A and B are shown apart, each in its own frame.
Chain A
Amino acid sequence: MGEYLTTIGLEVHVQLKTCSKMFCACSTDFGVDPNTQVCPVCLGYPGSMPVMNREAIRLTVISGLMLGCRINPQSKFDRKSYFYPDMPKNYQITQYDQPLCLGGGVEIEVEGVSRTVGLTRIHLEEDVAKNNHFATWSGIDFNRAGVPLMEIVSEPDMETPAEAFAYLQALRQLLVYAGVSDCNLEEGKMRCDVNVSLRPRGQVELGTKAEIKNLNTFKGVFNALEFEIHRQADVLQGGGRIVQETRRWDADTGQTYSMRSKEDAHDYRYFPEPDLMPVVLPPEVVKEWESALPERPRQRRERFVNDLGLPEYDAGVLAADKDVGDYFEDTLRYVKRPKAVSNWVMTDVLRTLSEQNLPITAFPVKPEALGELIELAETKVINSNTAKQVFGIMLAEGGGAKAIVAARGLAQVSDTGLIEKVVDQAIAENPKSVEDFRLGKDAALKHLIGQVMRLSKGKANPQMVGELLGKKIGRG
């Protein structure tokens, strides 16, 4: 494959997080019974007319601003005509030649190298219905028809499946940060079409491209590209020609299959939607939105390093997922110890989430409870082993850290008198270790501390125990 250069462009469809559909008042809730969120407008009934969802316009512009796009001061909607059962009107209201956003880019990092993938445009359209196929019949669920759908078109600006993968991850991260979409892939809220072509090294003009549809995971995009690049390279190496066509990715077989060639391509017969007025965005409105933009992941990372003093690594992990970053910052509201919170979130919290396959928003230990626990540990009310124990209890049974510690008598003992008693007992019961320690064997001290902890049921302050042992045995 070394003799070919690959060019990849992506079209990403993202459902926007609005309460109502693009052109009617129906709900956009996912997962309800089929055809329960429909009306004459989104069913394409005779005489019904679209009314613009202003929030969808705002969210698209916010996305554009987050991605560094130019915002079109005037854009418009068009009708795209083709017949398919999932299209209630047999035309889709979309934006053809005057999209809301132009240009922009997405910063990606692959193997430690950062670069920006250019964007062509972002436009707004309505989603189509969902066809469901059963043994002997098919059904159409129009709940999805009319949900606001943003299409983000990249430049043919990527060269490897890894870049495409990184692009999708970075794009998703930004859109989630922007608060415009959940980008939930399982619910089809983020979907992807891929364009890919190969050309011999040294050739300037791009080769003939294939478009691959039906990609609903990032891994699927990666695998489909790997397959398709090999397929096209094989064709070219065998002296063949790539035909311009649309191909379908089958995740089960791991192959792409031809759906239709360019000759069968639709003539969409775009023309301006006469039922909607052009969208005029006054500069002051765009400015206002721009001034209220949510923080970008990179800004948050820098803030974590500069303002909270976190190491770069911690900042990167915590800011990567907006919800994780939010959880971290929420916890900080209860305990002002960034590094300690970072340690807890990055280890115990994230590990538990991955073990239990939970999103952090559904994590049973809430920021307030974790904050309380960390505060107890950091002020030595409990020692670190007890802290892990309490965390486990909060996870399994819920409840606040203080309450658990109080109810179970888990508070660390720092009373010198009490500790001294136990230390004396340990010294008395372990003459061999005392002797070893006196002779300079540090391992013997560890054993002795262990004995003290056992006798104190884990509650003694280990640091105090160590100091006392040293003093008493005469090696302080």
Chain B
Amino acid sequence: MNALNTLTAHDLLARMQQGECTSESAVRAILDAIGRVDPVLHSYLTVNAEASLTQAREADAARRGGDDRPLLGVPIAVKDVLNVRGQPCTCASKILKGYVAPYDATAIARLRAAGAVFVGRTNMDEFAMGSTTENSAYGVTRNPWATDHVPGGSSGGSAVAVAADEAIAALGTDTGGSIRQPAAFCGCVGLKPSYGRVSRYGLTAYASSLDQIGPMTKDVRDAALLLQAMAGYDPLDSSSLPAPVPDFAAALKTDLKGVTLGLPREYFVGGLDPDVERRLQEAVAVCRQLGATTVEVSLPRTRQAIATYYIIAAAEASANLARFDGVRYGFRAAGSEDPLSLYKRTRAQGFGDEVKRRIILGTYVLSSGYYDAFYLRAQKVRALIRNDFGAAFEKCDAILAPVSPTPAYRIGEKSADPLQMYLGDIFTVPVNLAGICGLSVPCGFTAANLPVGLQIVGPALGEEAILRVGHAYENATEWHRRRPGSESSARQE
């Protein structure tokens, strides 16, 4: 029998339903795994050992009483940007040190209602700003496939927890690729739902018009399972969509007959790491074998996406992060004499460099006299990018794309050059700007044995289409079953 921590959520649920194991034993297996590998990987910022065991025992008791809620007893790791009542929520920032969330995010409340157990809080780039999880105030997280490499970011801790079997599944957030890119770097599945599909209430905002919560899982079926529990209109989030939530599991099929997949001309014209490009071409071939037809599409504003993203995201961040001032909660710098010096000291000492960089950038682009040239123009380009995708989806059901031009970087490799780092987001940020959905699934490895991700992009509220493609693909390839390092030996197929 597989060690319980290596199971997918749907396998674990099946076993619990059969009475073959308990939630408590699964949580213990998770805690053991964390004890073994997390001293090196550092995917967790806090582990709720006692609380999660209590929750697990309650879930087991409920199941004995006939309860069979969709996620009953499934241990889930939560990115440290989501508010869970009674737990810290530092956003990997010093400025929120000591803050304890007084309420549940809506996504958390819904998972809780579905029976999920919250094992701990995962590391991230501070306030979700970064692509490597190096921008955490609480230390770097390491890629389980090569511990001198980054796991990607900003949801790096969640990706590692899933990939290294320190969690059954995890939640991430994705503003410009922060679920999909670490999923690709770590060899797990990551879904960024359409903007408005999952309530943002309780997600500490980085860029409000781009942020989305999504699942990071060991396979596509689990992504569908978690999305099912979280999706749907929330009166507390005015930007959540009042659209019906389909049965995502019903969309999962093993063939792609009748599916048309778009290949963006602009995404396959050099600049890609050769191994990444080969794995993608192989993945496209697999999809064709499964019955899909492919068609070339064009996304002409791809080149403008990075600049557009960094203007809009930074602008929104500059306001969203203004509330961290030392007045009401979190870190407060000592020695302040008046409000202004309190703000200056608290924010100077509390924020890291990347956060400061984006706050300054955002403040600048919103400043009187610069607003039209930067923010307003960026919004216009954003509309054009959205139109590009609209036109592309008239010709196809989903788009196949790289997640990142390269596999995982070495730790420290890019941190000195923010611009190079930003360019790594070229294939993920357009999806956020357009408000559409994207799925990252493992599609093989580089020569250096680093995972590569395939991105499947769908139209707004088109999660069924991308989950279908992702499921059929992984069903045909099984890349997603590979596990890194010594933990993989614990997994006997």
Residues of chain A having any CB pair with chain B under 8 Å: 40, 43-52, 79, 81, 83-85, 88-91, 140, 267, 269-271, 274-277
Contact = CB atoms under 8 A, between A and B. Distances in A.
A49 B236 CA distance: 7
Contacts of B7: none
A48 B83 CA distance: 9
Contact of B238 (A47, A52, A88): A52
A209 B367 CA distance: 24
A140 B325 CA distance: 14
A44 B328 CA distance: 9
A46 B89 contact: yes
Given A43-B328, A49-B236, A140-B327, A83 B322 contact: yes
21 contacts: A45-B103, A45-B328, A46-B89, A46-B96, A46-B204, A46-B205, A47-B202, A48-B103, A48-B202, A49-B201, A52-B238, A81-B366, A89-B323, A267-B368, A269-B367, A269-B368, A270-B366, A270-B371, A271-B371, A274-B316, A276-B238
Given A46-B83, A83-B339, A271 B375 contact: yes
Contacts of B343: 83
Interface string B371-396: 10001000000000000000000000
A138 B378 CA distance: 42
Contacts of B201: 47-49
A267 B200 CA distance: 29
Contacts of B208: 274-275
Interface residues on B, range: 35 or more
A45 B375 CA distance: 26
B71 interface: no
B141 interface: no
B99 interface: yes
Interface of B: 82-83, 89, 91, 96, 99, 101-103, 105, 200-205, 208-209, 235-239, 315-316, 318-319, 322-323, 325, 327-329, 339-340, 343, 363, 366-368, 371, 375
B323 A49 contact: no
Given A40-B103, A84-B339, A49 B238 contact: yes
Contacts of B102: 40, 45
Nearest to A83: B343
A44 B366 contact: no
A50 B367 CA distance: 24
Given A49-B205, A269-B368, A277-B238, 10 more contacts: A45-B102, A52-B238, A81-B318, A83-B322, A85-B339, A88-B323, A271-B315, A271-B316, A274-B208, A275-B205
The majority secondary structure among interface residues of chain B is loop
A43 B208 CA distance: 18
A79 B315 CA distance: 11
Contacts of B103: 40, 45, 48
In this complex, the member of A44, A46, A275, A276 whose beta carbon has the largest number of chain B beta carbons within 10 angstroms is A46
A49 B200 contact: yes
Q: What 10 A-B pairs are tightest by C-beta distance, nearest first?
A: A90-B322, A269-B366, A274-B208, A46-B204, A274-B209, A47-B202, A44-B323, A47-B83, A89-B323, A47-B204
Given A44-B323, A45-B102, A45-B329, A50 B238 contact: yes
Contacts of A50: 238
B323 A46 contact: yes
In this complex, the member of A79, A267, A274 whose beta carbon has the largest number of chain B beta carbons within 10 angstroms is A274
Contact of B105 (A47, A140, A270, A271): A47
A89 B368 CA distance: 21
Contacts of B327: 85, 140
Contacts of B200: 47, 49
Contacts of A88: 323, 328
A91 B315 contact: no
Nearest to B342: A85
Contacts of A45: 83, 102-103, 328-329
B139 to A, nearest CB: 21
Contacts of B236: 49, 51
Contacts of A79: 319
A414 B364 CA distance: 89
